[in-house]
């Protein structure tokens, strides 16, 4: 038997009953084998049944009512209002994928008609996206609902036709059990195989490593630390048959403040970014951790105002004490670095819980970051590093050398934007989403959202974990040549009763063949 | 200086002048840096300019006339008519991508309109595919034009907006130099940066390894052996910033012969597969190397007829002596394996060149393959292994355990197909393209073709190396939030002057916003 563990209330440090224990190797193996056994049946369900499952999961999640919110609040310390909003987002994601599956054109059906008179005869070719097989999804600590058991990756994988084995995040095991029950109820309601979904608990890396290595699984989706994501990536690449790993591993979300914008709106920007940095105690993937500020008086004023706002901000509670400890340790290390100045920090009161973290602001120069690129890496928590730059050339070089990012944000007047086109191009090359104005926290869920980016923001810059395009993580193309109508998936048959958009001989149409 | 090497005429074994030499580390680095420097300019070219480049490359390739065909014939021993056909395919691929780029909807533009009245305000989000950056493409030995310097991967990468550094295959360096000049002429003709394309020679793995490791490159595309592809995959995964590797690494292309089809058409099938196995001396990626034949008299008759046809077939010349040597060595090893019978082989005359290979046919049982899965792996050359099976359950288990394949082919009567649905499903799970009837050799180039498959057929089952979807190898999504019209790529601006198909608020339309 593996050792038991419990969740803790980060607001008090108190252990929460009941005890959970890590899944044993035999349980992990069974979950993966059952997922593989369920795959052919689940993948062959009509689209309407898969859509109904996702809708039923949304209903079942809502039907958990206060029990889910209370447990999530206890396990994460996230405020009730935030959790209500996150539940709404989770439910909306499930429904969004239900609508996507129902509409059906996402399969990218392509039909090249035969030409028997050509020499050599041209075959009938029909292609569409098919599910990869059973996949592993990892719950993230910072979104106990929307990026966890019934979150975006699970919804996308089920929508694609892939059974899911979830590794629960050990900080919110009870919330995970509740959400898992909602999924199981939905699966039963539509008559999908029970093996379509499984939940495994695990307090350390062993369970996740076993999943990434399991021969029955065909992909891994993860949101968390660089260390955790990279370990899964390495394990999956070393398998006899490697599989894709979609790991979102952190981002410092550079913000490019251009001279006229700082001069005209410095105080307003300082207030907006102070709020964005401290929102959710800095635990958003898109927390703006790197602020590129021009040298000069206007920039000095912005930095001072931001420092004052952060110093005055109320410390928050992180979702577990490990995050606060890592944050404090990194803040202490940065304070000692040559060329780095601590501008301001919010003091913690003597009686605050171990999971508390106060905001901090550091400042350095482009030259220092050039010599010590590690400074540009994610510093998780309510902190930001200001990097002062001088001139478009230095700025462009700094941006081009950044690690990959989920987001980049630009604040500039029209003249600023025009004068810094090369810098903006360089920034676009390093990010998944480029914002003009505003703050990067707050990730809209919809068809046009892209939440991903070049390494190490994600192990796979070609994919997103938010929005309808997330379904592409879990599919591959399959092509049928000269297949009888009866052996084709419905989406590729001549009749097209659902009116899908399809490419016929290269041209999009909703017509039958 | 690296040691010089030459091509050899495989029909005679004679060295062909001139000498070539492996690219030095400094040359490799320069080519990659110049590609990186060219990237922003090349990526920003209007679609029409990129399309014109591809069309110009097709023209320039044709303008090389006999010189290209003569050199290719000398370096590969492939017959003139085959090379003419392959040149036609290469030119058509370049034009197909030109048309794709001109039409433009491949970028999958998505626009979610803003709603400032919502709480919180909904931003304007616009997403499209953007090029990854400079990429490495490896020439394959078996298609000196269509899968080489100006082949499908190069055409797809240039279409996507990615500069290309090609590693020439050492068996056809002169053909590669000619095709490279055609590309350079096309690049100059449209005024694209010279760094958009470079050719590097290399007689061993060092140059390719240096490309896979080079920090400026963003993807690798390769067609060749498992050993070569796996080495590139491992190098790319071990980089500080790993990059995608699209390696097509071989396939045994299982053919499923069902009982009524064998009984009704055994002789016809034997003739068709003898021709497919020996076509191009067995050097097609889709050569049918694994024939799953039911036990019983009809199957016995098929095997005997196929053996006779292969024994009587004329030996061919492979594209270089190394292939023939590996083929002979593997054939000798299989002859000694317990449970494996050599059914027939075509004798080589005493005076044949070292690159010659004669067809051979082996036979075993599903039980032997179950115990020795290596037997199901690719055996490159004009050979096939017959695997005798008995009963749908044994067949389904055999198919489910196969390594990933480019293709699978099914021959069956309507009743056969109906009685073996589970086996066909299992086969679909292991292949990229499933054929009903016919032979797998001959890969149509068009929107619906998929040439890829689960590992080890490809390192990335999500991608194809043939057809318009090959462009997706070289792109990633990028999202713009609240961007001014002037800073958006043309494809995402409101006006949509080219009439692209775009998703606006989730619905496909060619309308402006």
What is the residue-averaged pLDDT of chain B? 97
Question: What is d(CA A295, CA B463) in angstroms, rounded to the nearest whole number?
Answer: 46
Q: Which residues of B283-310 are buried (b: 16+ CB within 10 A; e: fewer)?
A: bbbbbbbbbbbbeeebbbebbebbbebb
Question: What is d(CA A249, CA A229) in angstroms, rounded to the nearest whole number?
Answer: 6
- Are A455 and B481 within 8 A, CB to CB? no
Minimum-distance CB partner of B432 among A432, A433, A478? A478
If we measure between CA atoms, which residue out of B4, B8, B71 comes closest to residue B318? B8
Q: Which chain A positions have a beta carbon within 8 Å of B452's beta carbon?
A: 476-477
Checking if the pLDDT of B1 tops 70, the result is no
- Are A479 and B449 within 8 A, CB to CB? yes
Checking if the pLDDT of B31 tops 70, the result is yes
Smallest CA–CA distance, residue B482 to chain A, in Å, is 5
The pLDDT of A237-249, averaged and rounded, is 97
> DSSP secondary-structure letter at A346?
P
Smallest CA–CA distance, residue A4 to chain B, in Å, is 36
The pLDDT of B467-489, averaged and rounded, is 97
pLDDT in tens, B221-257: 999 999 999 999 999 999 999 999 999 999 999 999 9
Minimum-distance CB partner of A428 among B432, B450, B478? B478
If we measure between CA atoms, which residue out of A427, A440, A435 comes closest to residue B124? A435
Cα torsion through B374, B376, B380, B382, rounded to 10: 130
pLDDT in tens, A132-188: 999 999 999 999 999 999 999 999 999 999 999 999 999 999 999 999 999 999 999
Minimum-distance CB partner of B469 among A132, A431, A477? A477
- Are A414 and B130 within 8 A, CB to CB? no
Minimum-distance CB partner of B436 among A459, A469, A484? A484
CA B312 to chain centre: 31
pLDDT in tens, A415-427: 999 999 999 999 9
Alpha carbon separation from A99 to A54, A164, A452, A468, B175 (Å, rounded): 9, 20, 23, 10, 52
Cα torsion through A374, A376, A377, A383, rounded to 10: 120
Rg over alpha carbons for chain B, rounded to the nearest Å, is: 24
pLDDT in tens, A1-54: 677 999 999 999 999 999 999 999 999 999 999 999 999 999 999 999 999 999
What residue in B sits closest to A424 (Cα-Cα)?
A: B487
Q: Which chain A positions have a beta carbon within 8 Å of B508's beta carbon?
A: 105, 501, 508
Q: Give chain A's length.
A: 513
- Range with lowest mean pLDDT among A69-78, A241-250, A345-354: A345-354
> DSSP secondary-structure letter at B255?
E
Is B65 exposed, middle or buried, given 0-12, 13-18 or 19+ CB atoms closer than 10 A?
A: exposed
Residues 6+ apart with CB under 8 A from B367: none
pLDDT reported for residue A45? 97
Instruction: Check if B287 is active-site.
Output: no
Smallest CA–CA distance, residue A438 to chain B, in Å, is 9
- Are A241 and B417 within 8 A, CB to CB? no
If we measure between CA atoms, which residue out of B417, B111, B405, B449 comes closest to residue B287? B405
Report the largest interatomic distance among the alpha carbons of chain A, rounded to a whole angstrom.
85
pLDDT in tens, A269-295: 999 999 999 999 999 999 999 999 999
Q: Give chain B's length.
A: 513
Residues 6+ apart with CB under 8 A from B427: B254, B256, B399, B402, B408, B410, B434
What stretches of A191-315 show up as alpha helix (H) in DSSP?
Answer: 206-213, 226-238, 259-278, 297-311
- Are A476 and B483 within 8 A, CB to CB? no
What residue in B sits closest to A122 (Cα-Cα)?
A: B444
Q: Which chain B positions have a beta carbon within 8 Å of A459's beta carbon?
A: 242
Checking ipTM against 0.95, whether it exceeds it is: yes
Residues 6+ apart with CB under 8 A from A250: A225, A226, A285, A377, A378, A380, A456, A457
- Are A434 and B233 within 8 A, CB to CB? no
Tell me whether strands B290-294 and B254-257 are parallel, antiparallel or unpaired: parallel
User: Helix, strand or coil for residue B248?
Assistant: strand
Tokens of A434: 């480029």
- Are B442 and A120 within 8 A, CB to CB? yes
Cα torsion through A253, B111, A473, A463, rounded to 10: -30
Question: What is d(CA B221, CA A508) in angstroms, rounded to the nearest whole number?
Answer: 29
Element (H, E) at A356: strand A356-357
Q: Which chain A positions have a beta carbon within 8 Å of B247's beta carbon?
A: none
- Are B503 and A447 within 8 A, CB to CB? yes
Question: What is d(CA A393, CA A348) in angstroms, rounded to the nearest whole number?
Answer: 40
Minimum-distance CB partner of B480 among A434, A447, A501? A434
Strands (E), B239-354: 245-248, 254-257, 290-294, 316-317, 341-345
Instruction: For Cα atoms A249, A94, A62, give the angle at the middle one, nearest 5 degrees.
Output: 110
Element (H, E) at B476: strand B475-481
pLDDT reported for residue A373? 92
Question: What is d(CA B225, CA B248) in angstroms, rounded to the nearest whole number?
Answer: 8
Minimum-distance CB partner of A125 among B428, B446, B461? B446
Smallest CA–CA distance, residue A20 to chain B, in Å, is 35
Checking if the pLDDT of B2 tops 90, the result is no
If we measure between CA atoms, which residue out of A43, A474, A196 comes closest to residue B428? A43
Residues 6+ apart with CB under 8 A from B456: A241, B226, B229, B230, B249, B250, B377, B403, B404
Tell me whether strands A220-223 and A135-138 are parallel, antiparallel or unpaired: parallel
Q: Which chain A positions have a beta carbon within 8 Å of B437's beta carbon?
A: 482
CB pairs under 8 A between A and B: 192
Instruction: For Cα atoms A234, A456, B219, give the angle at the middle one, nearest 5 degrees.
Output: 75
If we measure between CA atoms, which residue out of A393, A312, A299, A418 comes closest to residue A358? A312
Strands (E), B141-282: 164-167, 197-200, 220-223, 245-248, 254-257
What residue in A sits closest to B501 (Cα-Cα)?
A: A508
Task: Look up the pTM and report it.
Answer: 0.97
What residue in B sits closest to A485 (Cα-Cα)?
A: B436
- Are A125 and B487 within 8 A, CB to CB? no
Q: Which entry of B248, B363, B378, B491 is annotated as an active-site residue?
A: B248
The pLDDT of B428-449, averaged and rounded, is 96
Is B497 exposed, middle or buried, given 0-12, 13-18 or 19+ CB atoms closer than 10 A?
A: exposed
Distance linking the first and last C-alpha atoms of chain A: 59
- Are B436 and A487 within 8 A, CB to CB? yes
Smallest CA–CA distance, residue B448 to chain A, in Å, is 5
Residues 6+ apart with CB under 8 A from A323: A141, A283, A355, A357, A380, A381
Smallest CA–CA distance, residue B25 to chain A, in Å, is 23
Q: Which entry of B32, B162, B285, B287 is annotated as an active-site residue?
A: B285
Element (H, E) at A130: strand A125-131
pLDDT in tens, A68-123: 999 999 999 999 999 999 999 999 999 999 999 999 999 999 999 999 999 889 99
Tokens of B195: 């760094």
| Residue of B41, B85, B253, B462 for testing the chain A interface, max A β-carbons within 10 Å | B462
Question: What is d(CA A300, CA A293) in angstroms, rounded to the nearest whole number?
Answer: 9
Element (H, E) at A86: helix A80-103
Tokens of A219: 């992909």
Question: What is d(CA A170, CA A204) in angstroms, rounded to the nearest whole number?
Answer: 8
What residue in A sits closest to B115 (Cα-Cα)?
A: A444
Residues 6+ apart with CB under 8 A from B391: none
Element (H, E) at B153: helix B152-160
* Residue B35 phi, psi dihedral angles, 5° rounding: -65, -40
Question: What is d(CA B289, CA B273) in angstroms, rounded to the nearest whole number?
Answer: 10
Active-site amino acid positions of A = 248, 285
- Range with lowest mean pLDDT among A119-123, B2-6, B320-324, B449-453: B2-6
Residues 6+ apart with CB under 8 A from A163: A35, A36, A38, A39, A42, A133, A134, A135, A157, A193, A195, A196, A197
pLDDT reported for residue A1? 63
Smallest CA–CA distance, residue B241 to chain A, in Å, is 6
pLDDT in tens, A422-464: 999 999 999 999 999 999 999 999 999 999 999 999 999 999 9
pLDDT reported for residue A3? 79
pLDDT in tens, B247-260: 999 999 999 999 99
Element (H, E) at B367: helix B366-371
What stretches of A144-225 show up as alpha helix (H) in DSSP?
Answer: 152-160, 173-190, 206-213
pLDDT in tens, A205-230: 999 999 999 999 999 999 999 999 99
Q: Which chain A positions have a beta carbon within 8 Å of B118's beta carbon?
A: none
User: In which band, very low, low, confident or very high, does the pLDDT at B282 lie, cut at 50, 70 and 90?
Assistant: very high
Strands (E), B249-359: 254-257, 290-294, 316-317, 341-345, 356-357
- Asked if B426 and B396 count as a contact pair (C-beta separation under 8 A), the reply is yes
If we measure between CA atoms, which residue out of A206, A194, A161, A226 comes closest to residue A490? A161
The pLDDT of B9-36, averaged and rounded, is 97
Question: What is d(CA A33, CA B455) in angstroms, rounded to the nearest whole number?
Answer: 20
Minimum-distance CB partner of B479 among A132, A432, A468? A432
What percentage of chain A exceeds 90 in pLDDT?
99
Distance linking the first and last C-alpha atoms of chain B: 59
């Amino acid at each position: 038997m593996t050792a038991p563990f419990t969740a803790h209330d980060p607001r008090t440090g108190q252990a929460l009953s009941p005890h959970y224990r890590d899944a044993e190797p035999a349980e992990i193996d069974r979950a993966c084998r059952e997922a593989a056994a369920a795959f052919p049946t689940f993948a062959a369900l009509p689209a309407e049944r898969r859509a109904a499952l996702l809708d039923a999961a949304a209903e079942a999640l809502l039907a958990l009512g206060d029990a889910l919110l209370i447990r999530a609040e206890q396990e994460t310390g996230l405020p009730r209002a935030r959790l209500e909003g996150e539940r709404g987002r989770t439910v909306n994601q499930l429904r969004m994928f239900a609508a996507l599956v129902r509409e059906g054109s996402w399969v990218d059906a392509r039909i090249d008609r035969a030409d028997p008179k050509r020499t050599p005869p041209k075959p009938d070719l029909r292609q569409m996206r098919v599910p990869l097989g059973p996949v592993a999804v990892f719950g993230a600590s910072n979104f106990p609902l929307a990026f966890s058991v019934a979150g975006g990756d699970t919804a996308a994988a089920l929508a694609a036709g892939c059974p899911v084995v979830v590794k629960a995040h050990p900080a919110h095991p009870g919330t995970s059990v509740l959400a898992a029950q909602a999924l199981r109820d939905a699966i039963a309601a539509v008559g999908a195989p029970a093996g379509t979904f499984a939940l495994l608990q695990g307090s350390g890396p062993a369970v996740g490593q076993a999943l990434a290595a399991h021969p029955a699984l065909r992909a891994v989706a993860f949101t968390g630390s660089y260390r955790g994501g990279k370990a899964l990536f390495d394990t999956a690449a070393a398998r006899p048959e490697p599989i894709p790993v979609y790991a979102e591993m952190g981002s410092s979300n550079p913000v490019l403040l251009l001279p006229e914008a700082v001069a005209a709106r410095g105080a307003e920007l300082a207030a907006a970014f102070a709020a964005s940095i401290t929102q959710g105690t800095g635990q958003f993937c898109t927390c703006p951790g790197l602020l590129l500020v021009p040298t000069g008086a206007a920039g000095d004023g912005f930095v001072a105002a931001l420092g004052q706002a952060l110093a005055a901000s109320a410390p928050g509670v992180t979702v577990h004490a490990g995050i606060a400890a890592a944050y404090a340790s990194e803040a202490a290390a940065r304070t000692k670095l040559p060329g780095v100045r601590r501008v301001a920090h919010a003091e913690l009161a003597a009686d605050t819980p171990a999971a508390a973290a106060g905001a901090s602001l550091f400042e350095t120069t482009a030259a220092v970051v050039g010599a010590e690129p590690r400074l540009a890496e994610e510093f998780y928590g309510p902190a930001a590093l200001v990097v002062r730059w001088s001139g478009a050339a230095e700025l462009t070089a700094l941006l081009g050398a950044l690690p990959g990012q989920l987001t980049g944000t630009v604040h500039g007047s029209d003249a600023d934007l025009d004068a810094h086109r090369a810098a903006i191009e360089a920034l676009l090359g390093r990010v998944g989403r480029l914002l003009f104005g505003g703050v990067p926290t707050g990730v809209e869920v919809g068809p046009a959202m892209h939440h991903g980016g070049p390494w190490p923001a994600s192990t796979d810059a070609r994919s997103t974990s938010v929005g309808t395009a997330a379904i592409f993580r879990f599919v591959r193309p399959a092509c049928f040549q000269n297949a009888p109508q009866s052996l084709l998936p419905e989406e590729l048959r001549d009749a097209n009763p659902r009116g899908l958009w399809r490419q016929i001989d290269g041209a999009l149409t909703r017509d039958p063949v």
